[in-house]
Amino acid sequence: MKSFDIEELPLQVVRQRGGVQVAQFPALIDCGSHTATRLFSDAASAGAAMQGGLMRLYSLTERKDLRAQVRWLPGLADAKIRLAPIVPSSQIEDSLVDLLARRAFVEGEREVRTRAAFERIASERGKRIPVATQDVAPWLLPLAEAYQSARRAMESMSGPRAGAVIADIRSQIEWLTPQGFLSVTPWQWLKQYPRYFQAITYRLDKIRAGSAGRDDESMKLLKDLWTRSLAKVAEHERTPTAQTTSELRWTIEELRVSLFAQPLGTSIKASPQRCEKLLAI
């Protein structure tokens, strides 16, 4: 579908499997140029997929107004250049259209499952899209500047421990910026990205100033927590996109800031003890 052209998508359906009734959960899924329906075995997975499917439908149906706002974002041309290593310049406008669609129409809303509800929310485009743009406009260039500063700090890093530290940071950035991250990362966390990249620069500056030993201890702690967090989920879910809604995943990211760049602060309570509690759930 390229619009919400069914009357209602039910919360669940019941099917016969080997003579047993099994509940399954329908959701829209994002297919890039369109959406499709898929059945999931649990409500949580269906809900996560539905967010992406609704974002895609609004991105398609409201594209003209969304794209107009994107092209007026302050610093867009500069951001395209600075973010090119993680968001190809040919894709950044489409990714920002998706981001605005998610902010304007999906996040913070009750899940839309009827055509009437979809159209009601879309009819409020005139106030919703400008409000979303006000969130994104002051964030885009600081994101680009913080990423570029972190990249330069990594390129200038040298010394006996440089290899291990840079490998750790590259892995962190790969998880922060998979293909399409602007489209799929919840705004709650995406808006923290400038600080995450600032923390990388701060960390490297501290190592140059002589805190390599403490950095090594923190890196070992984080690696242990990260390895155990991935072991908790199925193998096919051990990807950045699949973990965008994981509280543990983002708590570990905030813990990185706390350990490597404490003066920058954290957006939530983040400690090894907090991570251990989440691991135990």
Burial class (CB in 10 A: 0-12, 13-18, 19+), 8: exposed
Q: Which pLDDT band, with edges at 50, 70 and 90, does 17 fall under?
A: confident
Query: Tell me, what's the pLDDT at 53?
Result: 97
- 9 & 109 share domain: yes
One domain for residues 127 and 168? no
Asked if residue 212 has pLDDT above 90, the reply is no
- Cα angle at 105 between 187 and 269, to 5 degrees? 25
22 and 95, same structural domain?
yes
Residue 211 — pLDDT band, cuts 50, 70, 90? Answer: confident
**Do 26 and 95 share a structural domain?**
yes
Percentage of the chain beyond pLDDT 70 is: 100
Regarding predicted confidence, which is higher, 161 or 61? 61
Q: What is the pLDDT of residue 158?
A: 87
| 145 within a domain of the structure (yes/no) | no
Cβ atoms of residues 63 and 10 within 8 Å: no
Residue 186 pLDDT more than 90? yes
Number of domains in the chain: 2
Which pLDDT belongs to residue 246? 95
Average pLDDT in the chain: 96
Q: pTM for this structure?
A: 0.95
> Are residues 168 and 279 located together in one domain of the fold?
yes
What's the pLDDT band for 18 if we cut at 50, 70, 90? confident
Q: Are residues 109 and 204 in the same domain?
A: no
Identify whether 19 is part of a domain: yes
Same domain, 127 and 182: no
pLDDT of residue 73: 96
In a domain, 146, yes or no: no
Question: Is residue 152 assigned to a domain?
Answer: no
Q: What pLDDT, on a 0 to 100 scale, did the predictor assign at position 218?
A: 96
Same domain, 230 and 258: yes
The mean per-residue pLDDT over the stretch 37-56 comes to 95
pLDDT of residue 213: 83
Assess if residue 148 is contained within a domain: no
Would residue 149 count as lying in a domain? no
Tell me if 189 is assigned to some domain: yes
Query: Does a structural domain hold residue 142?
Result: no
Query: d(Cα 171, Cα 161) in Å, to the nearest integer?
Result: 16
84 plus 130 within the same structural domain:
yes
204/43 Cα distance (integer angstroms): 42
Last residue of a domain, one of 105, 137, 169: 137
Cα separation values, 259 from 84, 103, 152, 218, 238, Å:
29, 31, 21, 6, 24
Average pLDDT for residues 206-223, to the nearest whole number? 91
Indicate whether 180 and 271 sit together in one domain.
Answer: yes
Check pLDDT > 80 for residue 165: yes
Q: Which residue has the tokens 């905030």?
A: 254
Which of residues 108, 137, 166 is at a domain's end?
137
Q: Residue 256 is part of which domain span?
A: 157-281
Distance CA 204, CA 261 (A): 10
Do 122 and 23 fall into the same domain? yes
Residues 105 and 218 in one domain: no
pLDDT in tens, 233-273: 999 999 999 999 999 999 999 999 999 999 999 999 999 99
CB atoms within 10 A of CB 200: 26
